[in-house]
Structure 1
Amino acid sequence: MALVKDNLLLHAVRGTLGNQFTIYERNDQIIIAKKRGPSKNKPTKKQLEARYKMKVAAAYAKAILLDPDIKAYYKSLAGPGQNAYNMAVKDAYKSPEVQNIRFEDETVVVTAKDEFRVAEVTVRVLDGDGVILERGPAVVGRNGVDWYYKLASRPPGGKIIVVAVDLPGNETVREVKLE
């Protein structure tokens, strides 16, 4: 790979030359690189999964960027050499993270983070037999990371299931057993 500085000849040239070199521009720099061809190896299972995940993320980005408000949100997060599409793909590629579930009296406090933002957190309370006793949305706290859900009851031997969802709809599920 070579970086080209102030070359009048290559200033307007982009593409492949003689099936040997590829000339492209990235971050206002002209780059000349050896032309890459397709791999001759059969893709692994992980590669196929990654390709599928990227295809889904790209489809999400194309669809969601039709909404001007969401496009403006992603554009505001883009850095140099990035755009709203890049940010939307990145957001769709990763699920939110539920970092902590704790109890404060009769309130469940869920700490959920995402590189962009967590759209919603829902809480389900199950008894020892797995029957849902209550469910509902948690309310985001002032810090934007902690979500609060007021419990009606804490059945002994039951469990609490927390589902965090980000803007693209990726879900992360965590559960805590009650004693």
Structure 2
Amino acid sequence: MAKIINQENPMMNGVTGTIGNLTFATRKGQTISFPKRGPNKKPPTEEQVAVQLNFERFAAYAQEAVADPVTKLMYAKAAKKGQTAFNVAFRDAARPPRIPQIDTRKYRGLVNDVIKFLVKDVVPVESVTVRILSAAGAELEQGDAARSTGNYWSYKATVANPAVFGTRVLVTATDLPGNVTEAEFVI
């Protein structure tokens, strides 16, 4: 590996790529050169194949998303400086939603008690479903949560639950690309 010392040289400043048998790259503000890498002769591992397939799936989703004007606009609004709607759609496909908070403080086991959820993703998720199970594991109720404000969702209980202690709340969030995340909270 060679370092280019004279960084003021306009011919070499910020050069990246391959010229002949030399490859140039910029690392920590320094332009470096190294021999051109040849083709890999080993077959890819199972993990590498899985990564390649996922990359293809994410790219296919992003292409489909930007082909639809409404979806493209939604992703374009979520883009930061230097990003395209395609970049944001790709990231959305690659990252499942997160459920960092399940708030059961207003749930006392009565009908119409509210459970709130914070669900984060690249863009707002498509849906959030809730299952409430007794301490013994029997399903008491299930249903769709409603979007509140921003990334918050809420669910109104439809069944009375006299034994709240030990109740399990299972939350499932599904985003636009179809990624699914589940979280559980025990009261």
Scaled by the length of structure 2, the TM-score of the pair is 0.68
For the Cα contact (< 8 Å) 1:128–1:155, is it kept in 2? Answer: no
1:54 matched residue in structure 2: 55
1:25 matched residue in structure 2: none
For the Cα contact (< 8 Å) 1:108–1:148, is it kept in 2? Answer: yes
2:74 matched residue in structure 1: 73
Instruction: Name whichever structure is richer in strand by fraction.
Output: 1
Structure 1, 72-81 or 93-102: larger mean CA deviation: 72-81
- Structure 1 runs not aligned, ≥5 long: 8-14, 23-30
Structure 1, 78-87 or 41-50: larger mean CA deviation: 41-50
Residue 162 (structure 1) aligned with residue 171 (structure 2): yes
1:34-57, Cα deviation, whole Å (9 max, x unpaired):
754443455445433322222211
Residue 127 (structure 1) aligned with residue 134 (structure 2): yes
Residue 98 (structure 1) aligned with residue 96 (structure 2): no
Shift of 1:119: 2.2
For the Cα contact (< 8 Å) 1:21–1:33, is it kept in 2? Answer: yes
Q: Aligned equivalents of 1:151 and 1:167: distance in 2?
A: 26
| Code of the aligned partner of 2:77 | S
- Structure 2 runs not aligned, ≥5 long: 12-16, 25-30, 108-112
Scaled by the length of structure 1, the TM-score of the pair is 0.71
1:115 matched residue in structure 2: 122
Q: Aligned equivalents of 2:70 and 2:45: distance in 1?
A: 39
Residue 175 (structure 1) aligned with residue 176 (structure 2): no
Q: Aligned equivalents of 1:62 and 1:118: distance in 2?
A: 19
Q: Aligned equivalents of 2:83 and 2:59: distance in 1?
A: 15
For the Cα contact (< 8 Å) 2:102–2:116, is it kept in 1? Answer: yes
Change (3 A) 1:177 1:21: closer
Change (3 A) 1:130 1:52: farther
Q: Aligned equivalents of 1:119 and 1:37: distance in 2?
A: 45
1:29-87, Cα deviation, whole Å (9 max, x unpaired):
xx997754443455445433322222211111122222111112222333444322111
- Count of equivalent residues: 164
Identity of aligned residues (%): 37
